[in-house]
Amino acid sequence: MNKYLVIGNPIEHSLSPLLHNYWIKKNNLKATYDKKEANSDDLKNLIEKVREKNISGINVTVPFKKEIIPHLDRLTLDAEVTQSVNTIFSTNEGKIVGHNTDIGGFENAIKDTKYSLLEKRALVLGSGGVAPSIIFALYKMKVSSVTLTNRTKSKAEYLQNLYNNTIIKENSWNEIKVVDWGELPEFDMVVNATSVGLKKDENLDLDFSKIGKNKFFYDVIYNPKKTNFLNKGNDLGNKIENGKKMFIFQAAEAFKIWHNVQPNIDNEVIELLD
């Protein structure tokens, strides 16, 4: 019986076990998938369990997507570029590999909405967790610009430098800009890549009242379904979308890596998460 885990802190809100176990059952696989609240001290031991084949694969969520990297043998290109890992697997040679399925998850989720990002201006809120993956995906979908803002500005500037000096320079993309928290430049799409909103009473302390209509508010959070950020976007007459489809698409990519089975994404799966 193969054993899979999602690790994070906090982790109780995660619907990963519900989704993966649904697909495991649908495809008659001999496997289990659980969630585990972890601490930094647990990471080395968890990777050793993968090496010893006591665990077959791990999904990684906040706050360990970068912190897990030193414990791995190698990274895929997507994980290397973003310095962010959310899926861990072992090769036939016993090497422990970190991969990033968040990039494809976000890309496929946006394509699913039929919204074109071509030459659009994107504003990303937050610089940890999934933010590096969102930024890479935005550039791959040919946005005209990415602006980044974070409460701790130095963290946004670190990400700005990481990207501007590597993948952005290599592809001649427009460089990431960083603005102070609370400053809202012109944008077509704004992405909440922070964890603010996981609790229903949480609010981003940003004033969107003067941005106008016909923008796209996207929140990577999928539980709850409508954060205060999305409610605000909706009230102001904008398109809104939560992170449920991104979550499903990134999970499907991880599932395919582990089981060599492409899981079905249909209405039953979407309703399952509701």
**Domains of the chain from N-terminus onward:** 2-100+246-272 (3.40.50.10860), 103-242 (3.40.50.720)
pLDDT of residue 222: 87
Position 199 confidence tier, pLDDT thresholds 50, 70, 90: confident
Q: What's the pLDDT at 71?
A: 98
Residue burial 160-195, b: 16+ Cβ < 10 Å; e: rest: bebbeeebbeeeebeebebeeeeebeebbbbbbbbb
Query: For residue 163, what pLDDT is reported?
Result: 94
Summarize the confidence of residues 175-182 as an average pLDDT.
98
- The CA-CA-CA angle for residues 29, 30, 35, to 5°, reads 100
Q: Does the structure show a pLDDT above 90 at 17?
A: yes
Q: Detail the DSSP E strand segments found in the chain.
A: 2-8, 31-37, 57-60, 74-75, 87-90, 96-99, 121-125, 145-149, 177-178, 189-192, 216-219, 239-241
CA 59 – CA 92 distance, rounded (Å): 19
What percentage of the chain carries pLDDT values higher than 90? 92
pLDDT averaged over every residue in the chain: 96
- Give the predicted TM-score (pTM) of the model: 0.94
- pLDDT digit string (tens) for 217-245? 999 998 889 999 999 999 999 999 999 99
pLDDT confidence of residue 120: 98
Q: Give mean pLDDT, residues 45-63.
A: 96
* Average of per-residue pLDDT across 202-220: 93
pLDDT value, residue 223: 82
Average pLDDT over residues 168-197: 96
Query: Residue range 103-121: average pLDDT?
Result: 97
Task: Categorize the per-residue pLDDT at 13 as very low, low, confident or very high, splitting at 50, 70 and 90.
Answer: confident
Q: How confident is the model at residue 18 (pLDDT cuts 50, 70, 90)?
A: very high
Q: What is the mean pLDDT of residues 4-20?
A: 95
Residue 273: count other Cβ atoms within 10 Å of its Cβ: 16
The owner of tokens 């130095």 is 154
Query: Catalytic pick from 35, 65, 120, 232?
Result: 65
- What integer is the mean pLDDT of 266-270? 93
pLDDT tops 90 at residue 88: yes
CA distance 133 to 143: 14
- Residue 65 is among the residues annotated as catalytic for this protein: yes
| Alpha carbons 247 and 15: distance in angstroms, whole number | 9
pLDDT at 239: 97
The answer, yes or no, to whether residue 274 has pLDDT greater than 90, is no
pLDDT score at 218: 98
